[in-house]
Structure 1
Amino acid sequence: MPDTTSDFLAGNARADRLPESLARMLFRLLLAGLSGFLLCVPWLSGHLYWVGWLAWVPLLFALRDAQPVSALLLGWFAGTLCFAGGSYWLAEFLVNLKQVNSLLSMGLASLFWCYLGLVIGLGCMIYRWLAERLCGWELLVFPVVMVSVMAAYPMLFKTHFADGQTLFLPALQAIEFTGAPGLDAMMMMFSMLVFRLLAPQNPFQARYSRTINCLAWTLLIAWLGYGYISLHDWDRRMQQWDTRQIGLVQPNDAITLGVPEPAPGFSREYPREMASTERLIAAGAQWVAWPEARYKGYFDNYSVRARYAQALAGQGVPLIFHDVERRWLDAKRVSFNTVAMLDGQGELAAQYRKMLRMPFGEYLPEPWSWPLLKSVTDRVFGEFLRPLGAGEQHRSFNLDGMRVVPKVCYEAAFPGFVAEAINTDGAGKMLLFLSQDNWFGETSQPFQHANMSILRGVENRVPMVHLINNGPSVVTAPNGRRLANTAAFNRAELLVSIPFDDSVGGSFYSRHPHLFLNLVYGSAAMLMGWALWRGRLAVRRRARRYNRTTRPTGN
């Protein structure tokens, strides 16, 4: 006769365990969601940069003892919330882009946030898989894995948590050796150290971890200590430098997919920006720059070229601006996003064609360019998708010894690419980013874009100007200190004095932009190889124990 009483009690025990397990998972999700929120806070408010150093702690508690699959889901949830909060402006971008309704734009943006969030999920899954096999090495495993996965994961642009640290200048200085991924790793390591201080450990693990913790604290102190010393050393050195007076025009042009008419009272030959340029020259500007903005017709119309030359010849001051350039190449008409420099006589002296094109905006990457999928992308992106040709090489514009390295909009997001433009001959160079961010409305996106470019200046130890059509435009010294900035979402004219020395510029990162990430990739591969080796040893030991216990004994 079956024991119905014991079956009933076992069923009740399982029923009791189910709510307990569900509550534990919900608590883990709550912790992961808290981390997702904290991770995006510094992107939204630079004054809360310190939050980014603690943001991973709740997620680490959520991942404690989690299986890799659970870690994937928890990390994915945290990552999706992080990117949804940090790039909330994507929904408004889609409305401006396609004039779709808010519900559809939110749905499309959510799919993109889920895709981006998966990068955190994959990092958490690999971290937990390694942590189970390399007990005690979590302090190294977590930053190495997360930085590796984020660097390798395909994104429209590379995202760094270091972008939210532009007001914490001492933390920025050492990225001249590692680039932004190095600061990402330091922030992750600090969160792991805090987690290890708060999470109870058994006596064996505590003794084993003490030495590793001390080494990690020493590395962090050295990173920040170098930052404080370097920051003030650069301030002291720049006091001895000459200055250059640079004029910046921020027109705040409205967005349009078509070719807009000139502003009232102005013409294609004499735009509002030229009037601003004349005022800045009268105030003492040694050269003037305009941002990426409305179509100007410089390359298409002789009348525009002649009038620009006439306006500048009487001033003797060079002008840098952006326009669409159309050329016939191999019997095909190709358009380029081009930055042009006119010399003091108004003649075209140099030009740079944008090299990194924005996927789905300026070209279709594979496989989306294949015939079967192209009809879908044409329907989604419509007129916004305007294929452009890619430039073939970096350029620098020589302005009386100052070598200005121009980059266009999207290119500011790629540390290695910008470092290659500075390269081994960085002396006398300066970065100039020209952007049009009105597509994103009055959101935090232009501020985040400006923060990216500040890191590019520190990484390469050169002065940096990021001129944004709708602001905030920003000018920084080689140590990231802000020299000037404009208000966002307004027209502005800015005359700024930039400290300059033609013998200074470039960094270790400029010369070796891929070294740190290659070391991180190598470390991740070694950790995974070690984990696999230890796993095979553990299987062999279990097999030997099983054989000993099951071996038949003789009579």
Structure 2
Amino acid sequence: MSQFDASPASLATETLVLAEQARVVSWTTRVLLAAVSGVMMFAPWVNPVLFWTGWLAGVPLLYALRDTRLPAAFALGWLAGVLCFAGASHWMIDFMIHLKGLSWPVSAILAGLFWLYTGLALGFACLLYRWLALRVPTWDLLTFPLVIAVVMAIFPQLFVTDFAEGQARFLVALQGVDLLGAQGLNIIMLLFSGLLFQLLQAYYSNSRGAGMGMLVAGAVLLLWFAYGFYALSYWDNQVRSWDTTRIGLVQPNDPPRRRIPAPREGFTREAPEEMVASRRLAKAGAQWVAWPEARYKGYYDMFTVRHGYGKEVTSWGVPLFFHDVENRWVNAEQVSFNTVAWLDHNGRLAGQYRKVQRMPFGEYLPAFFELPGITQVTRMFMGDYLRPVGAGTEHVEFRVGDMRVIPKVCYETAFPQFVAESIGADSAGKLLLFLSQDNWFGETSQPFQHRDMSVLRGVENRVPMVHLINNGPSVAIVPSGRVVASTQAFSRAERLVDIPFSANAGGSFYSRHAVLVQRSLYAALALLLFWGLIAGRRSHAA
């Protein structure tokens, strides 16, 4: 074509060629962009100060995926996912070391296999997103956040992946989870990335104006943050008018052990060290005292321990919540339960909660690993760490005065719907109490991530929340997510907390309709997939 050929047709052709050349991205660049996205995804989990990177993490991934074929989209998503989970759960190496006493290299290999598996979640999500993008490209702003959030939620993992857990310090953005839960915030974050990506594309292509999809996305984001400002102000005002309840928290920082340890020097099972700290807290005005999930105590197995605890608690006149292993005979078989016990002010066992959501591989084997031939290998590897326990069957509340304490154990914090179910419609006066043992993960970011996860559960359900972690950092928050007290990580502590509380407040749209929210998201994705199938058939017919 001559440089003097300036007909409209030739100019249009040259423009299209140049535009197509500008869109060509080398495979190396795509890999780098996917890797950057994976790092930006995990950064807020490791350091909450970097919460803002979670809002931008989708942009490099979208550039990496642009104009790719489906296998390439899967590979790029898988790479981003592996890096995301490797960074977010780097503590898996320490966990393996404490679990079996393995060497660092062996633990790293096992953790690497875990990351390769979990990274598949984002790989399949990117594959499905590109499939939809090829069929219904005008719906990109909806398909990207919805597909990523839902696929990562339904992919079989130990726990649901919520990018929202890295936003515990971004209180304005956090408030909307009382409507749509953590998955709602996941979608909002991904929607922000998608909108920014399209704005950048429009800017560099000199496109004028914004499409209807961009306007709708911008409006949704504005509404989310407008609600965030309103709700944060509302709950701050509500909390100021509440009375406070003084509670005592004991953080013993027990080291992880696979065997039942002997009592610390100078103490007995009947009078453990936590009793001394609790006595001080009770004298200082605590209205109830709590201990975290930690070492075996023998309360359910030994009469002398029950008698000692009862006598001590009676002398304070203050209720005590603590965790222990409860052994019971069920259908002629001995079954262990992870149980939270409640001793009233008279030292009597007034109630107990048996952990419902058990830890896979630590407290039970998933069905697949119980198959003949596989179970032997699994048990050989897991060894004495695998301590099968029975599952509780119901939520329980401990009523102390006007306060209705809802106990939960360890990683039950990772199940939003389950926690919302425990609050439900009858929510007034409830407080969430999480008791955890995180020393299995060493001095890593894991207990901080666990703490932030529990903050979301408090805001989702608009109740005060206390998360007492054996090795810290323990935390107490009000329904807005604001922290009223905390402890240092990897240390022993005892803490008095004056937590604002109202017998007439609590509960949210999410706590009443968590299942409806999730099913609505799944239904929206199903409709998109159906529309994609129809659009694909129409294009082939044409």
Give the TM-score of the pair, scaled to structure 1.
Answer: 0.92
Partner of 1:27 in structure 2? 29
Q: Deviations over 1:161-187 (max 9, x none)?
A: 000000000111110011100000000
1:502 match: 503
Q: 1:185-334 to 2 correspondence within 5 Å?
A: 185-200=187-202, 210-334=211-335
Residue number in structure 2 paired with 1:124: 126
d(CA) in 2 for partners of 1:508, 1:291: 30
Stretch deviating more after TM superposition (485-494 or 146-155): 146-155
Q: 1:117, 1:53 → 2: CA distance?
A: 19
Aligned counterparts of 1:424 and 1:205: Cα–Cα separation in 2: 49
Contact 1:363–1:386 (8 Å) recurs in 2: yes
Residue of structure 2 in register with 1:9 after alignment: none
2:91 corresponds to:
89
1:112 is matched with which residue: 108, 111, 114? 114
Query: For the residues of structure 2 that align with 1:137 and 1:203, how far apart are their CA atoms?
Result: 20
Q: How far does residue 215 in structure 1 lie from its aligned partner after superposition?
A: 1.1
Q: CA deviation at 1:22?
A: 11
Q: Give how far 1:156 is off.
A: 0.5
User: Given that residues 147 and 520 in structure 1 are in contact (C-alpha distance below 8 angstroms), is that contact kept between their aligned partners in structure 2?
Assistant: no
> How many angstroms does 1:517 deviate by?
1.9
1:136/1:205 contact within 8 Å kept: no
Pick from 178, 181, 191: which aligns with 2:180?
178
Cα deviation for residue 516 of structure 1 reads 2.0
1:48 pairs with 41, 47, 50, which one?
50
* Structure 1 residue 536 displacement after superposition: 1.1
CA distance in 1, matches of 2:217, 2:25: 35
Task: Tell me: CA distance 1:211–1:384, structure 2 relative to 1, closer, same or farther (3 Å).
Answer: same
Match of 1:102 in 2: 104
Residue 76 (structure 2) pairs with residue 74 (structure 1): yes
Summarize deviations over 1:180-237 as a string: whole Å, max 9, x none.
0000000000001111111248999976x62111111111111111111111111111
Q: Give me the whole-angstrom Cα distance separating, in 2, the residues matched to 1:298 and 1:271.
A: 11
Secondary structure at the counterpart of residue 167 of structure 1:
coil
CA shift at 1:21, angstroms?
13
> What secondary structure, in the 3-state scheme, does the structure 1 residue paired with 2:147 have?
helix
Contact 1:163 1:455 in 2 (8 A): yes
Give the whole-Å Cα distance in 2 for the aligned partners of 1:458 and 1:372. 45
Q: 1:393 to 1:276 in 2, by over 3 A?
A: same
The amino acid that maps onto 2:80 is A
Cα distance in 2 for partners of 1:348, 1:91 equals 39
Q: Deviations over 1:70-103 (max 9, x none)?
A: 1000000000001001110001100110011111
Q: Secondary structure at the match of 2:370?
A: coil
Q: Which deviations, in whole Å up to 9, do the C-alpha atoms of 1:291-322 show, x marking residues without a partner?
A: 00010000001101111111111211000000
**C-alpha distance in structure 2 between counterparts of 1:540 and 1:222, whole Å:** 41
Cα distance between partner residues in 2 of 1:203 and 1:526? 32
TM-superposed CA distance for 1:479, in Å, is: 0.6
**CA offsets 1:343-371 (integer angstroms, 9 cap, x no match):** 00100000000001111110111110112
The one-letter amino acid paired with 1:462 is V
Distance 1:367 1:205 in 2: 53
Instruction: Give the equivalent residue in structure 2 for 1:519.
Output: 520
**Partner residue of 2:152 out of 139, 150, 153:** 150
The one-letter code of the counterpart of 2:55 is: W
- Structure-2 separation of matches of 1:156 and 1:261: 32
Q: Which amino acid aligns with 1:390?
A: A
Flag structure 1 segments of 5+ consecutive residues without an equivalent.
1-19, 542-555
Q: Is 1:483 aligned to 2:494, yes or no?
A: no
SS at match of 1:263: coil
| Larger radius of gyration between Structure 1 and Structure 2 | 1
Query: Structure 2 CA distance, aligned partners of 1:71 and 1:254?
Result: 44
Q: Aligned letter for 1:94?
A: M
Q: 1:64 to 1:503 in 2, by over 3 A?
A: same
Higher deviation after alignment, 157-166 or 512-521:
512-521
When structure 1 is superposed on structure 2, of 473-482 and 515-524 the one drifting more is 515-524
* Aligned residue number for residue 6 of structure 1: none
Q: What is the CA distance between 1:56 and its match in structure 2?
A: 1.1
Contact 1:250 1:468 in 2 (8 A): yes
Distance 1:22 1:176, change over 3 A: closer
Q: For 1:367 and 1:40, locate their aligned partners in 2 and report how far apart those are by CA, in whole Å.
A: 29
Equivalent position of 1:535 in the other structure: 536
**Contact 1:291–1:436 at 8 Å: present in 2 too?**
yes
| RMSD across aligned positions (CA) | 1.6
Q: How many residues align?
A: 521
Matched, 1:438 2:439: yes
Paired residue secondary structure (2:352): strand
CA distance in 2, matches of 1:66, 1:539: 20
In structure 2, distance between residues paired with 1:491 and 1:37: 33
1:341 matched to 2:342? The reply is yes
Counterpart secondary structure, 1:368: helix
* Structure 2 Cα separation of the partners of residues 285 and 97 of structure 1: 36
What percentage of residue pairs aligned between the two structures are identical? 54
TM-score between the two structures when normalised by the length of structure 2: 0.94
**Would the alpha carbon gap of residues 66 and 261 (structure 1) be closer, same or farther in structure 2, given more than 3 Å must change?**
same
Tell me the residue number matched to 2:4.
none
Report the more deviating stretch, 530-539 or 345-354.
530-539
State the distance in 2 between where 1:200 and 1:216 align: 15
> What corresponds to 1:62 in structure 2?
64
Structure-1 separation of matches of 2:456 and 2:540: 47
Give the superposition deviation at 1:377. Answer: 0.4
How far residue 537 of structure 1 moved from its aligned partner, in angstroms, is 1.3
2:362 matches 1:361: yes
2:67 aligned partner, one-letter code:
D
Greater displacement, 431-440 / 213-222: 213-222
- 1:154, CA displacement in angstroms? 0.7
Contact 1:143 1:188 in 2 (8 A): yes
State the distance in 1 between where 2:506 and 2:207 align: 46
Q: Specify the SS of the correspondent of 1:170.
A: helix
